[in-house]
Structure 1
Amino acid sequence: LIPEDIDVDTWTLTIDGESVKQEKTYTLSELKSKFKHHTYQLTLECGGNGRSEFDPPAKGNQWTVGAVYCASWTGVRLRDVLEDVGIKDDAVYFGYHSADTHLSRDPTKEPISRGAPMSKALQDETLLAFKMNGEEIPLVHGYPLRVIAGGWPASVSGKWLQRISIRNIVHDGTKMTGTAYRVPCKPVAPGEKVADEDMCIIESMPVKSLITYPKSGAVLSKNKKLSIRGHAWAGELEVAKMEYSIDFGATWHHCTIDKPANRLAWQHFSADISFPQEGYYEVWAKATDSNGVSQPMLLPGWNPKGYLNNACHRIAVKIA
C-alpha cells in the first residue's frame, strides 16, 4: 500500500548492513546538498511486461505491452553516497527497504525488498532520485525518494526509499527468493514445475521494441505511405538495428533509429512503409542489440511467472 502522511522535513535515508564500515543516516536536504546532482533518461520495464501472452497462463498482472517507460530522473549517485559511508571489501549486493505497507497491514511484513549486485549499485546511472521529468516524483512513483536502476526489472528500483542495506550475501528480502523475478536457469516445457533452486535472478532486460504510432487497426487509403514510430531498448545494451516486416517476417526492412539520450535510455525509431496492394497487413517490429541478438518473432520460452516476453510487437493495418 502507498504510504500516507509523508513528511519530507523528517524523511531520512539510512545506509546499513553487514558490509558497511559504519551505519549512517542522511536527511533529504543533506542528500541534496552534500552530493552532486545527475540527470539521466532511464528505461524501467516490469519483468512481467507481456505476461498476458503466456500459455499456460502465468499468475500476476496480465500486462500486454504497456508496462515500460523512460522518464528523466534526477538525483544523486548511489555510488557517491556509498563512498561517503564506506563499504567493506566483502560487499556483494544491496537491498532496499521502503515505507509502503503490506496489503495485510502487518507492520512486520515488508511488501517488497529487492536489490542488485554491487556492480549495478556502482554504475554512474544508478541514482537515489528525487525528481522525475524535472518535477518532484509523484507519490505513486515513489515520492520523495526512489532508487533508479535502469535496464533491469523495474522492481529493482524501489519506491518510497528509507533504507539501503549493503549485504555480504545475495540480498534475501521479500520478492528476492523462490520464483519471484526469476526464470528457469535452463529451458523448460510449458507448464513444467521448476524447483526454486533451479531459478535464476533476472538482471539485464532483453532487447525489445514497441510501435507507438499508429494504433493497431489503422485504415489507410491505397498508394499512401504509412509512417510508423516507436521505442526500442535493450537492458544494459544499446539497440544497434531496428527493422519492420509487412509479410509476417518473411522479409525485413530497415527503420531509422536514433542514438539513446544516454546509456540505459530507450531509443526512438521510425519508418515510412509502402504496401503493394489493398488488403489486410500486419506491421511487425524487430530490434537487434549491440551483441547481435534480435527479438524472437514468437514468445521466447515459457516460464512459471511469465517474465521476459520480448516477442516482436505487431499491429494490424488495412489498406482500403
Structure 2
Amino acid sequence: MRKDRGLRELYEQDPIAADEAVFGRRTGPDRRGFLKGAGLAAMGLAIGGAIPFSRTMPAGLIPAALAESVEDFVIEGKNGLRVLNDKPVNAETPPHLLDDDVTPIAHYFIRNNGVPPESTSPQGWRLTVDGEVNETLNFAISELADRFEVVTLRLQHECGGNGRAGFNPPASGNQWTTGAIGNAEWTGVRMRDVLNAAGVKDSAIYTAHHGADSHLSGDPDKVPISRGVPIWKAMDPHTLIVWRMNGQDIHPMNGAPLRILCPGWPGSTSQKWLTRIQLRDVVHDGTKMSAPSYSVPYHSVQPGADVAEADFKIIESMPVKSLITSPRSGHHLPTGHRKLRVRGHAWSGDDVVTKMEVSYDFGATWVTADLHAPPNPYSWQRWEAELSFPTKGYYEIWARATNDRGEQQPFIPPWNPKGYLNNAMHRIAVMVPA
C-alpha cells in the first residue's frame, strides 16, 4: 500500500509530477508548464485568490502561500481534511470533525473524478433534461427555484469506496479510511418534479447524469464520470437537484453551482457540476458504469481472487454503518475517572438504523446505546452511550449498528476487488490511567 504524502513531500520528491498530480498542469518542452483553465482555478481555490502572473510561474514551484501553511494542503473554505495521494484532489474528514449533526462545509469531504470546471458561477448555468421524455427542457437555476417546490433536507452522502484502506489484500484506488461521508442540509428541488415536467416516457428505465468537469488527460472527447440510477430511485422524493448546502452556496469542490444529491447510494450517482439529465431506455453505459467500477461481486469471493466481469452487480443502496465521533481515538481519561460518554452517527443506505451498540471488551459484551430518530429519511442518526470501565488499562471501543432489515455491521466485511462497501465496525482507543 502506498504511503499518503502531504503537498510539501510531493513537491520535494518530484515537483513536475506534483504539478500534474495536484493541479493538472502540463509541462511543455521548455519545462515552463503553463497553468490555465481548471488547473489555474484549482490552484486559485487552494491559495484563496487569483494569480495575475500565472503564465510566468515556473513549473514545479509550490506557491509560498501553501509552502508556509501549517497544514500539508490548504483548500480555500476547507480545513482539517486529510488529502489522499491521488489525482485529482480527494480529501477525507477525520472522525472527530464529523461530530456535528449537520456536517459543516469546511469539514465536508472532497471526491473528484475529473478536473472541476474553471467557472462555477450560477450566472448562465443551464440544466438540460432530455432523452426518453415528451419534451426537452432547459433551465437556469433561478427557473428551477421559481417553477418547482424548493425543499431542504438533511441527507447522508458517502463515497462507495469509503473504508477501502481497511481491506486486505489492498484494493487499488483512493485509500479512504472512514471520512468519505457527510450529512449536510441540502436545498433544491425534487428530481421527480423536474422529470415529470418533461414528461417521462414509458420506455425510460434509467437516468444518465452529465457534469461540466473535464477528463484528467485534457482530452475533450473523454468524460471523467457519467453515472445514473434506475427511474424508481430518481423519482424518490428525497433524490434532489440542489444548489445550496447548509444555507450557503455549494463549495466549488463539492459541485457548485448545481449537483444531484442521491442519498443512500454511492456518491458517484450524485453528479457534481450538473449540466444534463438524460433519460434512457437501457441501463446507462456512461463512464464508470461498467464493472468493476462501482460494482461488487454478486457472490462471495476469496480475498485477492480475480472476478469475471459477468459476476459483478452495480452498487445501489449502501450498507449499514456507524462512526464514533467523540472522543477522538487515543483519548486518555483523567486520573481517577473510569466513566466515559461516547457518541457518533449511524446510517444505512435506503434503510433506517434501529439499534446501536458499543463494546469495550473486544466484542465479548455489548452496551445498547441511545439512538435518535432521523429528522427526515436518509439523514444519519445520532447515538450516545455511557461506559464504565472496570479497571485501568488500554481499551478499544467498538461500535456496531443494526438496520430495520436485521443487517448488522461485521467485524470483517466481505472482500471485493475494488474495495467498496467496507462497513466494518469503527474502533477507537481509550486509556484509563487508574
User: Match for residue 30 of structure 1?
Assistant: 143
Matched, 1:241 2:345: no
Shift of 1:264: 0.3
Identify which of 114, 135, 158 aligns with 1:45: 158
Residue type of the alignment partner of 1:191: G
| Residue 330 of structure 2 corresponds to residue 224 of structure 1 | no
The residue number in structure 1 matching 2:395 is 281
Moved more, 221-230 or 101-110: 221-230
Corresponding residue to 1:60 among 173, 184, 191: 173
Identity in percent: 54
* Aligned CA-pair RMSD: 0.9
Cα 1:219–1:23 shift into 2, 3 Å = same
How do 1:166-181 and structure 2 match up within 5 A?
166-181=279-294
Superposition TM-score, scaled by structure 1 size:
0.98
Unaligned runs of 5+ in 1: none
Q: Is contact 1:249–1:297 with CA below 8 Å preserved after alignment?
A: no
1:95: Cα distance to partner? Answer: 1.1
The correspondence for 1:112, drawn from 210, 225, 243, is: 225
Shift of 1:223: 3.7
How far has the Cα of 1:6 moved from its partner?
3.5
SS in 2 for 1:115: coil
Show the counterpart of 1:145: 258
Give the match's secondary structure for 1:231.
strand
Q: Counterpart in 1 of 2:314? A: 201
After superposition, the Cα gap between the structure-2 partners of 1:105 and 1:315, relative to the gap in structure 1 and judged at 3 Å, is: same
Q: Indicate the SS of the match to 1:243.
A: strand
Q: Cα distance 1:281–1:6, how it changes in 2: closer, same or farther (>3 A)?
A: closer
**Runs of 4 or more off by more than 6 Å in structure 1?**
none
Instruction: Please point out which of 349, 366, 369 is paired with 1:255.
Output: 369
Query: Is residue 325 of structure 2 the alignment partner of residue 186 of structure 1?
Result: no
More helix by share: 2
Is the 8 Å Cα contact of residues 410 and 423 (structure 2) preserved in structure 1?
yes
What is the distance in 2 between the residues matched to 1:223 and 1:140?
A: 43
Amino acid at match of 2:303: P
What TM-score do the two structures reach when normalised by structure 2?
A: 0.72
- C-alpha distance in 2 between matches for 1:228 and 1:6: 40
Deviation at 1:8, TM superposition (A): 2.3
User: Match of 1:268?
Assistant: 382
Structure 2: distance between partners of 1:67 and 1:28: 28
Q: 2:357 & 2:142 partners in 1: Cα distance?
A: 47
Query: Which has the greater radius of gyration?
Result: 2
Contact 2:297 2:312 in 1 (8 A): yes
Q: Which structure is higher in strand share? A: 1
The letter of the residue matching 2:153 is Y
Where do 5+ consecutive residues of structure 2 fail to align? 1-114
Cα distance, 1:76 vs. partner? 0.6
8 Å contact from structure 2 (residues 149, 189) kept in 1: yes
User: Which has the larger displacement, 221-230 or 155-164?
Assistant: 221-230
One-letter amino acid of the structure 1 residue matched with residue 310 of structure 2 = E
Q: Give the number of the structure with larger relative contact order, counting CA–CA contacts within 8 Å between residues 6 or more apart.
A: 1
Name the aligned partner's letter for residue 195 of structure 1: A
Could you say which residue in structure 2 is the equivalent of 1:75? 188
1:8 alignment partner, one of 87, 112, 122: 122
Q: Give the CA deviation at 1:22.
A: 2.3
- Which residue in the other structure is 2:203 paired with? 90
Q: Secondary structure at the match of 1:52?
A: helix
Structure 1 residue 7, shift from structure 2 partner = 4.1
Do the aligned residues in 1 keep the contact of 2:154 with 2:375 (CA within 8 Å)? yes
Letter in 2 for 1:153: P
